[in-house]
């Protein structure tokens, strides 16, 4: 039996789909900057790697799909409001 992935499914590769995916990552406390290698993300409390090898492969695939569909800058732009919200910073409307 295969364990269910902790990584949210990417519903579509649109800008809104990317924002939704980053928000789902944040809701699970898995948000990281898309320019960082998911293999290097560690849990602050323990220092242990946050993602398994399988999850790292999944994350690299999703980020690659978003980068291909949106371009690097738009992918980062989609993540930006999610990061700002996670940091407690409110964006102007």
For residue 4, being part of any structural domain is answered with no
Q: Does any domain span residue 75?
A: yes
Take residue 70 and report the two structure tokens written for it: 């949106």
State residue 92's pLDDT score.
Answer: 65
2 lies in a domain?
A: no
Higher pLDDT, 55 or 88: 55
* Through-space distance between the first and last CA atoms of the chain, rounded to whole angstroms: 47
Say what the pLDDT of residue 70 is. Answer: 97
pLDDT given at position 88: 80
Instruction: Indicate yes or no: pTM above 0.85.
Output: yes
Is 1 part of any domain?
no
Strands (DSSP E) found in 1-93: none
Q: Does any domain span residue 8? A: no
Instruction: State residue 90's pLDDT score.
Output: 76
Domain count, the chain: 1
Return the closest-CA partner of residue 59 out of 4, 22, 92, 14: 22
Residue at 20 is within a domain: yes
Report the distance separating Cα 18 and Cα 79, nearest Å: 7
Does 71 fall in a domain? yes
Note down the domain range covering 19.
15-86
Quick one: pLDDT at residue 85? 84
More confident position, 92 or 57? 57
Q: How confident is the model at residue 87 (pLDDT cuts 50, 70, 90)?
A: confident
* Mean pLDDT of the region 56-62: 97
Band of the pLDDT at 44, cuts 50, 70, 90?
Answer: confident
Is the residue at 32 inside a domain? yes
* Side-chain half-sphere CA neighbours of 84 within 13 A: 11
């Amino acid at each position: 039996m295969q364990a269910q992935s902790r990584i949210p499914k990417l519903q579509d590769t649109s800008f809104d789909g990317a924002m939704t995916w980053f928000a789902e990552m944040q809701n699970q406390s898995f948000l990281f900057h898309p320019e960082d290698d998911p293999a290097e993300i560690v849990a602050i409390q323990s220092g242990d790697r946050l993602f398994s090898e399988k999850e790292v492969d999944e994350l690299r695939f999703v980020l690659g799909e978003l980068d291909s569909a949106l371009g690097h800058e738009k992918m980062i732009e989609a993540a930006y409001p999610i990061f700002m919200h996670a940091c407690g910073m409110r964006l102007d409307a």
